[in-house]
Amino acid sequence: MRFANEVNGLVVKFSRLEVNETLGVDMLVMERLYPLDFRAHEAEIREIQFDVFADELRTLHAAGFAHHDLQRPSNLPGERFDNILLTAQSLRLIDVGISVLHRQVGEAFFNAYVQRELEELARFRAFFLGR
User: Which of Mg ion, ligand ATP, none does residue 30 bind (CB under 5 to 8 Å by kind)?
Assistant: ligand ATP
Q: How many CB atoms lie within 10 A of CB 84?
A: 26
Stretch 31-70 residues interacting with Mg ion (CB under 5 A): none
Give, to the nearest 10 degrees, the angle between helix 43-63 and helix 107-129: 180
> Contact between 95 and Mg ion (CB under 5 A)?
yes
Q: How much is the CA Rg of the chain, to the nearest whole Å?
A: 15
Q: Report the distance separating Cα 68 and Cα 49, nearest Å.
A: 20
Question: Which of 4, 10, 11, 12 forms a contact with ligand ATP (CB under 6 A)?
Answer: 12
Nearer to ligand ATP, 51 or 82 (CB): 82
**Binding stretches for ligand ATP (CB under 6 A):** 12, 30-33, 78, 82-83, 94-95, 97
